[in-house]
Structure 1
Amino acid sequence: MTTTHHASPAHRPVGPARGPVPHAALPSALGAVLILGALALLAWPARAALFAGVAGGTAASSLAPLAGLVAGKGLLALVAITAGLVLLIWFRDRPRFGLLAAAGAGTVAAYVTSEAVKLLVTEERPCRAIDVATVLACPAPGDWSWPSNHSTIAGALAMSCLLAAPRLWPVAVPLALAVAGARVAAGVHYVHDVASGLALGVLVTCVVALTAHAGAQRFTRRSTSRPSPGARRTRGR
């Protein structure tokens, strides 16, 4: 008579928790980066005319208060949405929280990259180079224009939300675009500044988040596949 021995639950190998698989977002992110990059390249030769038309037209219209509000405070709405998502995922989906944390690191990396590029390129603000009435006051000298920090952070936060909760795209994407567009309309950036900033935020956040997530998954698989000391002693008897 053959006796079948079943391993006790304590000795069964425990597989890694199945966290989110965000790689499906990569093609969309790369597509967005290519489109935004192409827009920046196309807008650069006509940057002065585009700025004068958009910023000057907005300053003389009834949309001026709205443009100023979105340009100055719109980013806070994306921050609030991301913070709410962090709390929700922390209580309801811990594996996905790790992905959102990695995207947060990507957002910081995108901002640091944006600041570094600004210091290297030192492009003057359009409100200082072009004589056009603007909604917002021109930033102080030395606060360079390309790429737009606001747009970089907006793109990074939107990408973070989409990696963790893709269904938020009807809110996150238009809001990020509105923040970027308002920076031009309010008179503090060229079109190529904000398009480049959005592309930079999306790209850096996506790459950092996916790389960190993949590394965490590999570490988890290796850790959980190793038998515990008690299990090794049992097999050695």
Structure 2
Amino acid sequence: MQGLAFDGRPVDGGLYLRMDRWAEHLPAPLQHLVAAYSVAGLLLLAALMLLGWWRSRRADGVLMARALAVPLVITLAFAADTLLKSVLREPRPCQVLDAGRTLEACPGAGDWSLPSNHTVIVFAGAAALWHVDRRLGALGLLLAVAMGLTRVLVGVHYPHDVLLGAVVGAAAGHLLGLLSGRAAPLVDRARTGGLRRWLTA
């Protein structure tokens, strides 16, 4: 592990190990639920995105532009996260700490830990959806918090990986979600063309 730019063990390695050992003693059905949500939570976010698009079909061009932009916002946040990972190059905690049996298989060397991809994606989606529909954004925030927690409990991230992922995702989602409303004129023109059936109620 020589030459790595960042070692997360001194930050909250002890907290990570305590959470990992607590997860090891959860009832088996709850362990399976945590592990499943750690992946399936992204599908729930996708469902909220579809619902945001559907509801915005009855709204003005600004809201429709924001709804259509959510996948792009998430993609850009993910790209920023990937770049940050390549700079920080923090190894996964399950690679360098005595984590025992984790609920999710430990990624291989070179699959960096900081920030958490899953957390960035869901927080970016929640923040972007907030500008489309506050209720959907609030639901997305609950999904995001749960996602961050499960990424630690399954053993593949430190808590600070999740915290930074939440900051990066929420900031990107909020700023890009607001800016995407400027595409309203494009959406309004599209509503009179071949995409009309997909962009109007």
Calculate the TM-score normalised by the size of structure 1: 0.68
1:108 corresponds to which of 75, 83, 98: 75
Verify: 1:49 aligned to 2:14, yes or no.
yes
Match of 1:76 in 2: 43
Q: CA RMSD in A?
A: 2.1
Measure how far apart 1:168 and its partner are. Answer: 2.6
Verify: 1:93 aligned to 2:63, yes or no.
no
Verify: 1:157 aligned to 2:122, yes or no.
no
Verify: 1:118 aligned to 2:74, yes or no.
no
Preserved CA contact (<8 Å) 2:49 2:70: no
Verify: 1:205 aligned to 2:173, yes or no.
yes
Three-state SS of the structure 2 residue aligned to 1:207 is helix
* 1:201/1:44 CA distance change after superposition, 3 Å: farther
Preserved CA contact (<8 Å) 2:20 2:155: yes
Three-state SS of the structure 2 residue aligned to 1:164 is coil
Q: Which has the larger radius of gyration?
A: 1
Preserved CA contact (<8 Å) 1:106 1:206: no
Corresponding residue pairs, total:
176
Distance across 2 between alignment mates of 1:191 and 1:122: 16
Distance across 1 between alignment mates of 2:137 and 2:72: 20
Preserved CA contact (<8 Å) 2:93 2:157: yes
* 1:177/1:82 CA distance change after superposition, 3 Å: same
Preserved CA contact (<8 Å) 1:118 1:146: yes
Measure how far apart 1:206 and its partner are. Answer: 1.5
> Could you list the runs of 5+ residues in structure 1 that have no partner in the other structure?
1-42, 221-237
Deviations 1:162-212 (A, max 9, x none): 110012344221111001110001100000101111111110122122233
Distance across 2 between alignment mates of 1:216 and 1:137: 42
Match of 1:4 in 2: none
Distance across 1 between alignment mates of 2:148 and 2:167: 11
Deviations 1:104-138 (A, max 9, x none): 32221100000011111110000111111211110
Distance across 2 between alignment mates of 1:104 and 1:211: 14
Deviations 1:31-73 (A, max 9, x none): xxxxxxxxxxxx9854111110112210222132221111121
Verify: 1:190 aligned to 2:158, yes or no.
yes
Three-state SS of the structure 1 residue aligned to 2:98 is coil
> Could you list the runs of 5+ residues in structure 2 that have no partner in the other structure?
1-7, 187-201
* 1:99/1:183 CA distance change after superposition, 3 Å: same
Calculate the TM-score normalised by the size of structure 2: 0.80
Match of 1:67 in 2: 34
